[in-house]
Chain A
């Protein structure tokens, strides 16, 4: 098949792809070209001001073609709010494009738009787009883009720019234009371009999608020039335009020879351990990991960067992380993000000393990952450089089938017997994990403020028989879901923010809920009050677009992580008896009523709930709303963690 698709062929392809798109394309163009007959009598020319202006209607515009391009990429949604630098593109999206593929999802902040893309991509396994205003919108969106970059998640960021200073309108358009829009986010995007022609836009848009969705995945940015969007496509040019066909390609996999070496090390090891963080990239990732772990009867330690392994699998020894690592003679680290941290620890003590944890002196580390394939200089998400014994550059999940085969080919009957004995001990240990966690949470069952363990288990009681997903981070709620729930589906959770930029969870969860909507899945998001306050406007988006999601606001009335940090600083300096100890870290006086906020955005909400006995009924009512396709929020006055 020819790489080039002629314009006529492309239009035929669109028509074949779906009657709706074909109809929109035809009627949109026709409507713009045929002006209705006027019943207004003509005004003499000498009485008209600006009588030298050409007719202010036009035919097919540049941004219509841009939408033609975007439609070839199977992007379902574009989260955005209006910005004059992309007004042409927005109008084409909603009218010429029929507001389908992509559908315009209205948000109230660009950061929320980008964070929704982050959450959506991790569930849908494909990117959505956000469209942000030139300069100021991109500045707003930048933190969420950085989070996604650090989390190696794809998103398509579109922005506009009135690049030609001669056609730029006075004042505001100057403020929102730039010589180089992308510089704001270039340090944390995989690629960007500011194409100068419609053909260049087509090429760059397809290239951007291709790069964003190939491991290592990351956000990309395309700047659509304002004149290019708004001007009519010259008749002669339209016939020459073509849209490159995107061919989905495979991901980089590990060197086969090195994979064989890795298998040898794993089979020969006395106590191999598999460490995973950002490992699972598709719904098949957990199954491959379990296959390898069961072949070796090796424990798995999970840092929850993705939904890597069922939390109750007998070989999941994440609750025994340190003893498991201490016993290891080989650690296989799959997309670990921070390899150095496997054998080192910078203590939060004066001078920040490195206090390495106890490890086998003969420990060997095998690394399979794509981290080093995308590293930038300024922002330090690369983590500290670590020496390993065998490093295999490539996508860990894509490399897994060949690693499994290599391990299989080297296992003998003697190995199997040894592995079985090892596995039996591991099974016996993990059988106690759940009871220990239940005992821990029992200690806080009646506590007030409501404990995080109680909150989590009251929620679990309401969703355990549903098709559910929890897209939010759990480190601020003592990881209770991983300790107590039964998380066994690839979509049950999706990892964290990547860069810990606060304000991720609330909008990213909504992006995940948007992806879950077609599955009828109950999305439950436990968000801290600090995170929520960064992006409360997403409640309006959830209500407006009827995206089913249950928000539980973990309302501990503080930036609790920072409470601990400031107390630590004060203790060291012997000033913790100061009456100012909590200045700047507590969110009190007045206490915020999140249910009222939600109701103001049109969402069903209850709270604040302070009595643990009121929790179950409130959560039940919230889940019922979500099952009916609505969003809901419960405000829970809760313990710090």
Chain B
């Protein structure tokens, strides 16, 4: 079991490293925002990809595009699958463009109410 875990970890690390090398395809952020709502992505990840704790992790900034695509098509854990007939690759690219366009979080120290 432990060997399997180590092997899986290594494969994941390799695939993540490979994924970093792919440039994300061109997408339409505006359409991506609409798709993010339409398909209910916002319900677990928040409308701004901010995450909702246990329901869905933060997607701002998003992981590498192949990781996002792979997670959509063959999800790990309990995320439901989104097959290509539902969201084509271009739709995923649009969503990815939307997530990439989100503003970075301000420094929490700059927000009075968070002190």
Which A residues contact B (CB, under 8 angstroms)? Answer: 347-349, 435, 438-449, 451, 453, 457-458, 460-461, 478-479, 484, 560, 563-564, 567-568, 571-572, 574, 576-577, 581, 616, 639-641
Contact = CB atoms under 8 A, between A and B. Distances in A.
Contacts of B83: 574
Given A442-B107, A576-B40, A640-B42, A451 B85 contact: no
B77 to A, nearest CB: 8
B23 interface: no
A203 B51 CA distance: 56
Given A349-B78, A438-B108, A457-B113, A443 B51 contact: yes
Given A442-B106, A445-B106, A564-B55, A571 B80 contact: yes
Contact of A478 (B39, B48, B52): B52
Nearest to A461: B113
B6 interface: no
Given A564-B40, A564-B44, A576-B82, A447 B50 contact: yes
Nearest to B109: A438
B111 A445 contact: yes
24 contacts: A347-B78, A438-B108, A439-B108, A440-B51, A443-B60, A444-B46, A445-B106, A447-B47, A447-B50, A448-B47, A449-B47, A484-B114, A560-B43, A564-B40, A567-B39, A568-B80, A571-B82, A574-B86, A576-B39, A576-B86, A639-B46, A640-B46, A640-B52, A641-B55
A484 B78 CA distance: 27
B86 to A, nearest CB: 5
A439 B109 CA distance: 9
Interface string B72-86: 000001101111011
Contacts of A478: 52-53
Contacts of A479: 53
Interface string B44-77: 1011101111010010100000000000000001
Contacts of A641: 46, 52-53, 55
B108 A441 contact: yes
B56 to A, nearest CB: 9
A541 B46 CA distance: 35
B114 A442 contact: yes
Interface residues of B, number: 34
B58 A443 contact: yes
Nearest to B42: A640
A444 B48 contact: yes
Contact of B80 (A441, A445, A484, A567): A567
B57 to A, nearest CB: 10
Given A442-B114, A576-B39, A639 B47 contact: yes
A560 B40 CA distance: 10
Contacts of A564: 40, 43-44, 55
Nearest to A452: B52
Contacts of B108: 435, 438-439, 441-442
Most buried by A among B60, B81, B105, B112: B105
A124 B53 CA distance: 32
Nearest to A568: B80
Contact of A443 (B38, B39, B50): B50
B46 A447 contact: yes
A440 B43 contact: no
B78 to A, nearest CB: 5
A324 to B, nearest CB: 15
Contacts of B42: 640
A575 to B, nearest CB: 8
Given A347-B78, A438-B111, 4 more contacts: A445-B105, A567-B80, A574-B85, A574-B86
A433 B40 CA distance: 29
Most buried by B among A443, A484, A639, A641: A443
B43 A438 contact: no
A449 B48 CA distance: 9
A162 to B, nearest CB: 50
Nearest to B107: A442
A440 to B, nearest CB: 7
A581 B60 contact: no
B78 A442 contact: no
Contacts of B111: 438, 442, 445
A563 B41 CA distance: 11
A478 B106 CA distance: 20
B114 A441 contact: yes
Contacts of B85: 574
A159 B83 CA distance: 56
Given A443-B60, A457-B114, A568-B80, A563 B43 contact: yes
Contact of A440 (B38, B58, B81, B82): B58
A465 to B, nearest CB: 13
B61 to A, nearest CB: 10
A524 to B, nearest CB: 15
Nearest to B52: A641
Given A457-B113, A460-B113, A640-B42, A443 B105 contact: yes
A134 B100 CA distance: 60
Question: Which 3 A-B residue pairs are closest in the complex by CB-CB distance?
Answer: A571-B80, A567-B40, A444-B50
B46 A451 contact: yes
